[in-house]
Amino acid sequence: MNNLNEKEKMLSGEMYDATDELLVQERNLCKDLCFEYNQLRPSKIEERKALIKNLFGRTADNFHVEQPFYCDYGYNIEIGENFYTNVNVVIIDCAKVTFGDNVFIAPNCGFYTAGHPFDVLERNKALEYAYPITVGNNVWIGAGCSILPGVTIGDNTVIGAGSVVTKDIPANVLAVGNPCKVIREIRDL
């Protein structure tokens, strides 16, 4: 018998109830922090940085998150050194979302760890699952990309604008499309 609570199920990749009281509370707290962050004047760099350090599970020293920015929990997000996101980035971090060093994310990108069952009866019970997303070092993600649950993107890779990344993408490549596929290797490293 499974004795895990809904948060433990979420973090372990099992099906969980997204309407669980603790999870709703944690999402509301996170959304309040995102609201506060998005209301800060852009020139308030230190206040913005402090709020992100409080929100994310791990940060490096040098990072910049443009406004607006949205996430579900915050504590499942880990960023490396020289991390940059442009405007309108959404991270649905029901599972861990890990970014390496020197990651650049263009506007209107989404990182979605959560998914829902195909079975309509399970889906209508507010059940979902979450699988981690990992982005390596020196990765550039073009505008309007969607990164789906369970995906790993290798070091030194470029994901072309508008891509929907449904499967792992190896290191040192240019990948683009829906679904995202490797176009060529990047050799000039």
The backbone torsions φ and ψ at residue 97, rounded to the nearest 5 degrees and listed phi first, read -125, 115
Cα-based distances in Å from 38 to 28, 51, 115: 15, 10, 26
Asked if 161 contacts 149 with a C-beta cutoff of 8 angstroms, the reply is: no
Beta-sheet pairing, 114-115 with 127-130: antiparallel
Asked if 22 and 10 touch (Cβ cutoff 8 Å), the reply is no
Q: Give me the catalytic one of 7, 49, 116, 125.
A: 116
Write out the two tokens for 161: 């604008």
Whether 116 sits among the annotated catalytic residues: the reply is yes
Q: Are 146 and 165 in contact (CB under 8 A)?
A: yes
CA–CA gap between residue 147 and residue 180 (Å, rounded): 10
Which residues are known catalytic residues?
Answer: 116
